[in-house]
Chains A and B, each alone.
Chain A
Amino acid sequence: MTGAFVEIDALPRPSATVVPVAAARPSPARRLLRALPPYLFLLPAIGCLAVWTYRPLAAAVNLSFFSWNLLPTTPKEPVGLDNYRRLLELPDLWHALWLTAAMTLALLLFTVALPTVVALWTSAIRGRGRAVYRAMIFAPVLVPPVAGAAVWQWMLDPTSGAVDRLIGHPINWIHEPGPAQIAIVVITGWHLLGFAVLVVSAGLAGIDDEYTAAAMLDRASRWQTTRWITLPLLSPTLVFLALMTVLMSGQLTFPLIDTLTQGGPDSATTNVYYLLWEWGFQNFDAGFAASAGLLFFVAFGVVATGLVRLSDRLTFHDN
């Protein structure tokens, strides 16, 4: 909550309902008219969600039981659960799932661990330095993904790239499996680090100084204070960042994979979302792609619920 009216909000509200208290019993038509306004205000937004999020979700469920090549002229062929069976038997799927999980874990380094350290350090700095560091670390957040991919590919170029010249050892970053995986993670991390630092810094700013001051008075060391006071109070922010990383990492790496590696070399940098894209729009196997998408939807839903539960259990609320 960062609104300008937080203090006022804390005041007790006399009555939550704004619907005017009906004096006498109005006619049903009038009551309907009175109930209408909120729905009218919601109509554009709900309409958009219905058409562009929930209708396609339902359509994808339907599509997953058909075989269809995306051409409007060819009929959809019902195949029952075949798409799902094929999916689970496909080694590509497990490979991509494993890679997605590994890349997400590696990304957590850039979206949780490193931002925490940076935010703690910068918050200890007084004066202009703090703003300068944070502005510089934030700048990559603003770079469009394709521009980021372009400049990194240029820097990682094996014959004349800045990175290989710097380390004095030519590494073919994009075309060897290991280095390509590292490159995708580091470039995505570079895009996200500044945002995560900002979020953690905001979380830090929301922690009351009195807790740490009290701990210091009790002669706790800096490290002890950080470990036992600051980090627990910060944990809701950190769990939030982890959740964002898990839910978004597949999408965030997509532009990089699409422009830099196309999932290669030897499908070392593919992930579940890139696989879906390939199945749907390169192999034109719409039903298959839909069934895979739904499977991932359910899986991510489970992971997200688990993380929310975890955060409820782990977090300490500052009351």
Chain B
Amino acid sequence: MAVAETTAPAPARGEPSAVADLAGETGARVWLRTAVGHGVLAALSLACIFPIYWMYATSLRRPEEVYNVSLFPWPLSVGNYTHVWDVIPIGRLILNTFAVAALISVGQLLVGLLAAYAFTAWRFRGQTLLYLAFVGTWLVPFQVTMLPNYTLLYRLGLLNTLAGVIVPNLASALGVLLLRQHMASFPRDLLDAARMDGRSSWSILWTVVVPNLRAPLAALSIVLFINAWNDYFWPALVLQRADSVVQLGLRGLFVGVEGPDWGGLMAGSGLACLPIFGIYLLLQRHVVGAFVRSGLK
């Protein structure tokens, strides 16, 4: 924002429709500011998108031309993709990651739904304290709990299993807090009416509350899925093998015999991003809405 604007020169007597006119700005200045704004935004947007473009561009070059820096990869080739397919079991890794992320997000959704329902449909002893227990998890750094959790997984025999990644992640404070907020704004009369009809609280949850929360549930599940897909720390700790989930498989490609295997790494990374980008492109509006809501707690 240009500092020069602090002094608004000409008094405005224009039509109140255009806000810029009210602030006493000439057409040229408005035009200039718009142009500068667009220029900066366009540059920033390109800078943000460029690494993603470059990843796919590199992956689509012929393997022997990976070091070429021409902006457009030509001729196109899937050589890097077949190569990464041979080196690491990328298909199975992606399937594993998908299964882990899906189970984690579904579990968090279910557990969160039940807890949020308890917080909204009843007033009970210890409610505030239990609610604070959820908020408090934000403060406990993962690194404090990792050692005891690691030893517990060891005793349960879950180290190096996908279950070991999933089970400790089944409750998400974010899910509980978000759903509670949505349920709190749910029309109470509907709940009361259902209760009058003699329905059990369990059936009210599934026949009245859930059908009316479809949009927030969908949005939340997307965020939870993406979070689980992108989680790195805990899988790295629990699964000490490269052939488990996609993030760990990729990490193995960083250390090649002759330095990193750039072509394979870019192809593998590109594949690891695809499911998330797919979800984003299909459900763009929901994804954006969901991230906004998760940010506004």
Contact = CB atoms under 8 A, between A and B. Distances in A.
A35 B127 CA distance: 12
B118 A42 contact: yes
Nearest to A41: B118
A172 interface: no
Contacts of B226: 142
Interface in B192-240: 192, 195, 201, 215-216, 226, 229-230, 232-233, 236-237
| B69, B173, B297 — most chain A CB neighbours (10 Å) | B69
Interface range for B = 35 or more
A45 B41 contact: no
A190 B48 contact: yes
Interface string B37-57: 110111011101101101100
A38 B128 CA distance: 13
If over half of A's interface residues share one DSSP class (helix, strand or loop), that class is named, otherwise mixed; here it is helix
| A134, A241, A255 — most chain B CB neighbours (10 Å) | A255
Given A213-B19, A216-B22, A44 B114 contact: yes
Contacts of B114: 41-42, 44-45
Given A17-B123, A147-B269, A247-B139, A162 B69 contact: yes
B185 A150 contact: no
A16 B123 contact: yes
A171 interface: no
Interface string A173-215: 0000000000000000010011100110111000000001100
Contact of A148 (B51, B111, B139, B246): B51
Given A136-B45, A296-B141, A144 B8 contact: no
B45 A137 contact: yes
A300 B185 contact: no
B115 A304 contact: no
A139 B287 CA distance: 11
A222 B1 contact: yes
Interface of B: 1-3, 5-8, 11-12, 16, 19-20, 22-25, 37-38, 40-42, 44-46, 48-49, 51-52, 54-55, 58, 67, 69, 110-112, 114-115, 117-119, 121-125, 127, 130, 133-134, 137-152, 154, 168-171, 173, 176, 181-182, 184-188, 191-192, 195, 201, 215-216, 226, 229-230, 232-233, 236-237, 246-247, 250-251, 253-254, 260, 262, 265-266, 268-270, 272-273, 276-277, 280, 284, 288-289, 291-293, 295-297
Q: Which 10 A-B pairs have the closest CB atoms?
A: A48-B171, A56-B148, A147-B269, A59-B148, A41-B118, A56-B145, A45-B115, A199-B295, A293-B144, A136-B45
Interface of A: 1-6, 8-9, 13, 16-19, 35, 37-42, 44-46, 48-49, 51-57, 59-60, 63, 70, 72, 117-118, 120-122, 124-125, 129, 132-148, 150-155, 157, 160, 162, 165, 190, 193-195, 198-199, 201-203, 212-213, 216-217, 219-226, 237, 240-241, 244, 247, 250-251, 254-255, 258-259, 273, 276-277, 280-281, 286, 289-290, 293-294, 296-297, 300-301, 304
